[in-house]
Structure 1
């Protein structure tokens, strides 16, 4: 029997050897919420060897204990099944049932989990796994292995200052920490170069965290987050500084190679990270301090001198661009006489720097033709997190007198931002906007030179003595290490929806792949 699991703690859900349909069910980021008379159906396949020993069903729910019915191939296995309260709104709880072998059929099987009609509460399903009785942990292990590949996490966060009753929105938290062992984190703490410190602990299903934060000025507060997205590396990391290290562990007086370590941690603040500590679900723990994380002035720059930092731009996004004509936003970073063009009289350009810098001047270069496409009115803005923007400079009635003319726009600014925006609100009269180049200049000492950041620290394997741990920077981003969804009801009964799932490893071979595709097609053909 292939592992059967449906992990609803991520979006899309992770599915293996199953197609899932649902009715009167809301799809939340960390679970499915079944209302009164709602249900899910898992259409899965067995090879017939389970008839003698049976199977083990584990249903993981969140929060309050709500009754559920379990039906296998049309026969009730449990009715009104409840468990004691789990002790918290988001605490996961496993409900384990033995499924008699005689209820399973070789080939297709249908498992239903229902919320009884008239039930007032919501049955919140986080996961469902099904195993042969002789290997009851196989599906859970397979589900954990699949989850571990999605090691880039994004959380929406909130802070509550000491003495305050209300939570306040905070910057997004994005992180990725991987030693090559695909371990799921349990706790994480970090310190920025400005002295701010944060420590958090994650829920078992990684759907959220709770912790505390001390700001650079000493202000204390609680800190919590809700998972919004999760990717397999390197997805989700574009434009965010990533540290890659070749590492060694100190054992028996010698330093021995121990693979690669990747650290990406972006909490939306305008400072770099200088120390990171973490533990994982396996009981391993580590702590590292980056030896050159503190920004240092450019030794060759005179006091008050501005220097061009355009080469530190790692990402540029435009509200639109003429991609088919090769006139995209990336051309704005090129020294060639190319251009960016948008078919609109207003536009937005967002730039992400490799690290925060206090930009105090920018340069715009007009493009090759049509003067009436030149920007005329705009705002230049900075942001720490890409959500809250501060206007640094406002221009109105500006004119370029010739083609490929470069003009400087200086303003007073000492704050370091990693994201900058050019918000063009009017042009010189055309229905299009164009530019050839955008450049950024920052004050000496405000943007550190790109120095390699090695680290020192320790690594403590579970159940073993801690060892020395050190790393040397490896250049480059790539690793070379080996809501309510109720549907209407007609004469044929309730209309089911097909759950969107990550089917990467759903089918184990060509035969099972063909079988699952047939099932999917059958669902999609259903009127």
Structure 2
């Protein structure tokens, strides 16, 4: 019996030798939601000469205390079966934002037919709660878990670019706070699924996580750039194929060598993508489910310019590289908007209130170390007096770079210049004005940003790493890599389909020509019937 599974934690659904029809269902990013009377039907095949004494059906759902009906080839296996909220006979997978439960059904082998079989999972009519399905697997009892192992292998082989929504919780508190998305792809040539992952960011932040076998979530801990510790957890929101899923992301492709005594020998390629909120990483360690471990330290050019990197004395104006500007408040009716701050005219930006934020996006990123503010045409009481300038890799987590209090402008359209030390090229900058000179409004005529040339040695395209790697059951050996110049992907991610037939993608679903032919025949029959 070939592995039978349907995984609704990604869109399109990931299926084995299975077609899935659905009715009265909503397709979410991490599950399939069945309303009252909604159902799915899994159409799967069993070999003609296979003798199976008993089949094991495992249904993984999100949340508990939700009823469902399960039948195989028209024979009921469970009616009004309540998914346990407290563990019960199911196995809760804790650590995701909403707990996932496994409910197991046993089916006598004589319920399985040679050839096509139909497994139906239904939310009872009148149910006032949603039945959220994540995965369904069918196995012979003597090899229970085969389908889940095949699913994990399929993830590693095909959709190995994974995205998690994450949360953090400070010690001693009960409330989880949203954190930046985590996106990663790791392939050292063996296509093994990561089990543990740890990294350090260029800003000093750190994290370590343990991943579920099916990559549906993780649990871990983290430490912010400010040194504050926190619990850290995530739930899967997307899986993408390589290389499509790595478009427009900070992906590294390394050509690697491994130490053999006193010499080095080529050891293939390492593909690495780890984006935890835009902060470049400088150290990554991992263990995969085959038992291999590795740890690498990226060169400053690969991670981010080091804090002690030198800059030239010559400044250049990077205001012209601003690709986006946003103000927390602006007087749009009078045309006194944030865009005016980038122009060399006597137009102005005005905000109601005595506090306001202005954010800039630079492309390419620049290490701003000087900025100029120009007062506007009237009302000196509207001049900013206190403010903080901050930089960010992702526009969400900010590092304070310069703060001023009690500043004054001597006249109208007066330009004041402010210098500070910064050698990190941030793509995002934010000026947070915390007080003005006494008015109920704030205004400026112009803001200019200046940066020095950073001297860091090699460019990112020539970045290296050094570290070690230990094969399962073996001894540690030196491990080093040299970046292969990119980019390596110029294709757009594939989009999912929300059709009534969830057939996944034929290239993933069918592993053999026979399977492909069978699925094409079944798909044609379905379309003919549907038409």
TM range (shorter): 0.5 to 0.7
Match of 2:31 in 1: 31
Q: Distance in 2 between matches of 1:58 and 1:357?
A: 57
* The one of 231, 236, 242 aligned to 1:227: 236
* The one of 218, 243, 255 aligned to 2:252: 243
Match of 1:183 in 2: 192
Q: Which secondary structure does the structure 2 equivalent of 1:147 belong to?
A: helix
Residues 465, 481 of structure 2: 8 Å contact kept: yes
Q: Distance in 2 between matches of 1:387 and 1:236?
A: 22
1:298 Cα deviation (Å)?
12
Q: Distance in 2 between matches of 1:129 and 1:170?
A: 32
- 1:203 and 2:206 equivalent? no
Q: Distance in 2 between matches of 1:210 and 1:515?
A: 43
What are the Cα deviations for residues 280-301 of structure 1, in whole angstroms up to 9, with x where unaligned? 2233221111133451599996
1:41 Cα deviation (Å)?
0.7
Q: Distance in 2 between matches of 1:238 and 1:359?
A: 31
Residues 65, 85 of structure 1: 8 Å contact kept: no
- 1:275 and 2:283 equivalent? yes
What are the Cα deviations for residues 36-62 of structure 1, in whole angstroms up to 9, with x where unaligned? 544211123445233x43663432314
Q: Distance in 2 between matches of 1:17 and 1:388?
A: 44
Match of 1:407 in 2: none
Q: Distance in 2 between matches of 1:142 and 1:203?
A: 15
Q: Distance in 2 between matches of 1:136 and 1:166?
A: 38
Residues 70, 79 of structure 2: 8 Å contact kept: yes
Match of 2:4 in 1: 4
* The one of 152, 169, 190 aligned to 1:144: 152
Residues 352, 418 of structure 1: 8 Å contact kept: no
- 1:130 and 2:138 equivalent? yes
Most deviating of 300-309 and 146-155: 300-309
Q: Distance in 1 between matches of 2:13 and 2:68?
A: 21
Match of 2:91 in 1: 86
Most deviating of 36-45 and 441-450: 441-450
TM-score, normalisation: structure 2: 0.66
Q: Distance in 1 between matches of 2:248 and 2:308?
A: 23
What are the Cα deviations for residues 372-421 of structure 1, in whole angstroms up to 9, with x where unaligned? xxxxxxxxx9863256899x9xxxxxxxxxxxxxxxxx998977565469
Question: Which stretches in structure 2 are left out of the alignment for 5+ residues?
Answer: 83-87, 325-359, 373-389, 402-416, 430-448, 490-498
1:309 Cα deviation (Å)?
12
1:267 Cα deviation (Å)?
1.9
Q: Distance in 1 between matches of 2:151 and 2:369?
A: 46
Match of 2:55 in 1: 56
Distance 1:523 1:411, change over 3 A: farther
Match of 1:44 in 2: 44
Match of 2:509 in 1: 506
Q: Distance in 2 between matches of 1:412 and 1:447?
A: 21
* The one of 463, 466, 469 aligned to 1:453: 463
Q: Which secondary structure does the structure 1 equivalent of 2:249 belong to?
A: coil
Distance 1:112 1:102, change over 3 A: closer
What are the Cα deviations for residues 29-84 of structure 1, in whole angstroms up to 9, with x where unaligned? 3333445544211123445233x436634323145475543322222344455762
* The one of 473, 476, 481 aligned to 2:483: 473
Distance 1:176 1:359, change over 3 A: farther
- 1:358 and 2:379 equivalent? no
What are the Cα deviations for residues 83-104 of structure 1, in whole angstroms up to 9, with x where unaligned? 6243445245362534424641
Q: Distance in 2 between matches of 1:191 and 1:15?
A: 36
Question: Which stretches in structure 1 are left out of the alignment for 5+ residues?
Answer: 318-348, 363-380, 393-409, 422-439, 480-495
Matched length: 424
What are the Cα deviations for residues 331-385 of structure 1, in whole angstroms up to 9, with x where unaligned? xxxxxxxxxxxxxxxxxx97754x66439799xxxxxxxxxxxxxxxxxx98632
Instruction: Report matched runs for 1:374-413 at 5 Å.
Output: 384-385=393-394
Q: Distance in 2 between matches of 1:45 and 1:359?
A: 66
Q: Distance in 1 between matches of 2:320 and 2:296?
A: 30
Residues 198, 214 of structure 1: 8 Å contact kept: yes
* The one of 133, 143, 162 aligned to 1:153: 162
Match of 1:368 in 2: none
Residues 190, 273 of structure 1: 8 Å contact kept: yes
1:231 Cα deviation (Å)?
1.0
TM-score, normalisation: structure 1: 0.66
Residues 298, 444 of structure 1: 8 Å contact kept: no
Match of 2:378 in 1: none
Q: Distance in 1 between matches of 2:229 and 2:308?
A: 34
Q: Distance in 2 between matches of 1:90 and 1:269?
A: 28
Q: Distance in 2 between matches of 1:499 and 1:255?
A: 49
* The one of 117, 123, 130 aligned to 1:109: 117
1:278 Cα deviation (Å)?
1.4
Distance 1:304 1:66, change over 3 A: same
1:254 Cα deviation (Å)?
4.5
